[in-house]
Amino acid sequence: MNQWMRAFFVARKDVESYYGKPPLVTWGLLFPAVMILAIYLKDRTGYLDVAPGIIGLTLLFGNTSMAAIVVTFEKRTGTLERLLLAPLRVRTIVLGKALSAALYGMATSSVLTLGLCLLLKMPLTRPGVFILGLVLGGGTFSLLGIIAAVSVKEVFEAMTLLNFFRFPLLFISGVFMPLSKMPFWILPVTYLSPLTHVIEIIRTGVHGDCTFGCLWIPVSCALLFLVASCILVVPVFRKRATR
Amino acid sequence: MQKERKSAEVAVRVDGLSKRYGSIRALNGVSFEVRAGSVFAYLGPNGAGKTTTIQILAGLTERNAGEVSVCGLDVSVDPVAIKSRIGVVTESSNLYPELNCQRNLEYLGELYGLPFSTRRERALQFLEEFGLAEKRRQPFRSLSRGMKRRLTIAAALIHLPDVLFLDEPTTGLDIPSARSLRALIQRVAKQGTTVFLTTHNLAEAENLADDVAILIQGRIVAQGTVEQLRNKVGEAKSLSVQCSPPLSPEIAKRGCPSVREAHLKDDVVRLEVSCLHSAILELAELVKREGNTIDQLICAPPSLEDAFVNILDKSRETARDRT
């Protein structure tokens, strides 16, 4: 049986074990749903500008929280050591963990999107692009979540470490306003955030037009972040997982 | 689960193994061999380097120097191939708390690449053999400590490994659970799996092991069969005395200069002595003086524990002389 299949088994077990954990429900579903509802009640037409950002945010919080919970919980109970003792390559373990986290983030974002489309009549002009955004964001955020989680021991430590990065990203990544409306001095920092590019792809999927003018710019940048995360995660995991 | 016993072959070979954690030298030129199909007890006080050795053999930790092979394969060359041929039970029972017993075994079967029908069949078979059939639908977290330990061993055997590493398997268990676990280890060994056992319980090692190595401060200070190590102690150095009225161990220790340790168990005082001849004479004097009568006096052969304490003492003396 090849390593791909074993990565799938790791992911399936995580889905069985962790999808119902309270922090995932609150951060992955409740938090974005309440946020979008609050914005809708304030401005019943302007919420469409914010909706792609909130979907991207759901993806970020859902994926990173899932990855953090899975890795830190298993590190604490010793079950991560059991995985390391099994005939699995480190990249197989990482792939399995990232897959379960990515699926969770993509599922919660899709549920939110479905709710927005059905209840608040949000358009989905280019569904293929929208899904591409979810896939690229899902992969990158899951891997970043694993990198953060494998460095600490407790779930709360992982969440604290992640929030240290996640909350600033809220302000610099065009979550609450399109890039075109952001102050010029913040733009250079904005482009360094993977969330910016994921939200731009999602925004293009929803509205049909891209702020960058060309869709390939955010797609290439998001892909670059995904590749960088892939390269970084294996050595970090190998070094930190047994500590 | 039945396998052919291949005692002539070597299952684990370690030669000049060294490992450092910063300035601390955890292992210092450790060498030993484990015969295939045997039970090998790896003994030593806390911090001696036993777990580090297992971690290196299981491919979890990298070594600084030395050669290590398991089932003829170098651990650092192909860790995945070796991991598919070994089973490891760590100090803690580390299965998935939220999964039930059967799912835990089946999941481990998935990770080891067993086909669906094999892993299901084997999970049910092991649950039966390990006395957990009735608990198969219960989550792992709800089991007693002894049951958790049994299921952890079953999980380590799910792919029928050639070598089973057991790190302190009975630590923290009550007497019946520990005894049932020892019987289980004996059964596994009889079926041909090589067992590499670390334990603090020397009676357990004596009961289970064919070969023993004693590790102190990262060095092997003695190795051989249990019999060979016992013989190193020389003459018998334990006495069991039953007196009427019962003799207090404190009085025995105070009244006989040759007695090093004295323990009372079921009216029998067990004495660890430095010289058997003097101890018997001193004891006779003491009993006469105290007005007791000796009902039974047994001169016990040296146990593995006697051998271990003797080796440990010598090792400490040598270390003191060096400093």
> Residues A199-210: pLDDT tens digits?
999 999 998 888
CB contact under 8 A, A242 and B58: no
Closest partner CB to A87 (pick from B80, B98, B107)? B80
Type of residue found at B82? I
- For residue A152, what are its two tokens? 């600490």
**Order of all β-strands in the sheet with B24-35:** B24-35, B10-21, B65-70, B73-74
Q: What is the pLDDT of residue A127?
A: 93
- Exposure string for B251-265, b = 16+ CB within 10 A, e = fewer: bbbebbebbeebeee
- In chain B, residues 69-98 whose CB comes closer than 8 Å to chain A: 80-81, 83-84, 88, 90, 92, 94-98
Which pLDDT tens digit goes with each residue over A148-180?
999 888 888 888 888 888 888 888 888 887 777
Closest partner CB to B60 (pick from A5, A17, A242)? A242
**Structural domains of chain B sorted by starting position, each given as residue range(s) with its CATH number in brackets:** 10-228 (3.40.50.300), 235-301 (3.30.70.980)
Lookup result for tokens 């919980």: A73
Pick from B229, B236, B237: nearest CA to B212 = B229
Q: What is the pairing mode between strands B10-21 and B24-35?
A: antiparallel
Q: What is the pLDDT of residue B271?
A: 85
Closest partner CB to B112 (pick from A13, A86, A89)? A86
**Does residue A41 sit at the B interface (CB-CB below 8 Å)?**
no
Q: What is the pLDDT of residue B4?
A: 44
| Closest-CA distance of chain A to residue B110, Å | 7
pLDDT-derived band at A225, boundaries 50, 70, 90: very high
| Closest-CA distance of chain A to residue B14, Å | 19
Is B143:B150 a contact under the CB 8 Å cutoff? no
Pick from A155, A166, A109: nearest CA to A136 = A109
Q: What is the pLDDT of residue B234?
A: 58
Best probe of the A interface among B83, B94, B106, B196, by most A CBs < 10 A, is: B94
B-chain CB neighbours of A6 within 8 Å are 110-111, 113
Greater confidence, A144 or B76? Answer: A144
Element (H, E) at B311: helix B304-322
Cα B34 off chain centre by: 14
Q: Which residue of B has its CA nearest to A19?
A: B98
- For residue B9, what are its two tokens? 């072959």
Best probe of the A interface among B21, B110, B112, by most A CBs < 10 A, is: B110
Q: Is the pLDDT of residue B164 over 50?
A: yes
Provide the ipTM: 0.85
**Does residue A13 sit at the B interface (CB-CB below 8 Å)?**
yes
Q: What is the pLDDT of residue B8?
A: 52
Q: What is the pLDDT of residue A243?
A: 65
Q: Is the pLDDT of residue B121 over 90?
A: yes
Q: What is the pLDDT of residue B236?
A: 56
CB contact under 8 A, A81 and B60: yes
Which pLDDT tens digit goes with each residue over B22-72?
888 899 999 999 999 999 999 988 888 999 999 999 988 989 999 999 998
Greater confidence, B169 or B321? Answer: B169
Q: Phi and psi dihedrals of B31, rounded to 5? A: -135, 135
Number of domains in chain A: 1
Best probe of the B interface among A1, A4, A13, A91, by most B CBs < 10 A, is: A13
Mean pLDDT of A187-205: 92
Mean pLDDT of A212-239: 93
Is B241:B271 a contact under the CB 8 Å cutoff? yes
Greater confidence, B201 or A88? Answer: A88
Is A237:A150 a contact under the CB 8 Å cutoff? yes
Which pLDDT tens digit goes with each residue over B194-230?
999 998 778 888 888 999 998 988 888 888 888 887 7
CB contact under 8 A, A6 and B84: no
B-chain CB neighbours of A19 within 8 Å are none
Question: CA B91, CA B168: separation in Å to the nearest integer?
Answer: 6
pLDDT-derived band at B7, boundaries 50, 70, 90: very low
**Which domain, by its residues, includes A223?**
3-240
Q: What is the pLDDT of residue A58?
A: 86
Q: Phi and psi dihedrals of B291, rounded to 5? A: 80, 25
Q: Is the pLDDT of residue B281 over 60?
A: yes
Pick from A30, A58, A52: nearest CA to A141 = A58
Q: What is the pLDDT of residue B249?
A: 87
**Does residue B166 sit at the A interface (CB-CB below 8 Å)?**
no
pLDDT-derived band at B5, boundaries 50, 70, 90: very low
Q: Which residue of A has its CA nearest to B57?
A: A85
Predicted TM-score (pTM) of this structure: 0.80
Q: Phi and psi dihedrals of B223, rounded to 5? A: -155, 155
CB count, 10 Å around CB of B317? 10
Q: What percent of chain A has pLDDT over 90?
A: 41
Question: CA A232, CA A19: separation in Å to the nearest integer?
Answer: 26
**Order of all β-strands in the sheet with B268-273:** B259-265, B268-273, B238-244, B293-300
Mean pLDDT of B284-293: 86
DSSP A143-159: HHHHHHHHT-SSHHHHH
Which pLDDT tens digit goes with each residue over B59-116?
889 899 999 999 989 888 888 999 999 999 998 888 999 999 999 999 999 999 999 9
Task: Let me know how many helices (H) and strands (E) chain B has, helices first.
Answer: 11, 14
CB count, 10 Å around CB of A199? 29
Q: What is the pLDDT of residue B117?
A: 93
Collapsed DSSP state (helix, strand, coil) of residue B222:
strand
User: Long-range pairs for B124-128 at CB < 8 Å and ≥24 separation?
Assistant: B126/B154, B126/B157, B126/B158, B127/B101, B127/B102, B127/B154
Pick from B58, B63, B70, B74: nearest CA to B28 = B63
| Closest-CA distance of chain B to residue A89, Å | 7
Q: What is the pLDDT of residue A131?
A: 95
**Does residue B107 sit at the A interface (CB-CB below 8 Å)?**
yes
Question: CA A191, CA A187: separation in Å to the nearest integer?
Answer: 6
**Order of all β-strands in the sheet with B39-43:** B86-89, B163-167, B194-199, B39-43, B211-216, B219-225
A-chain CB neighbours of B61 within 8 Å are 242
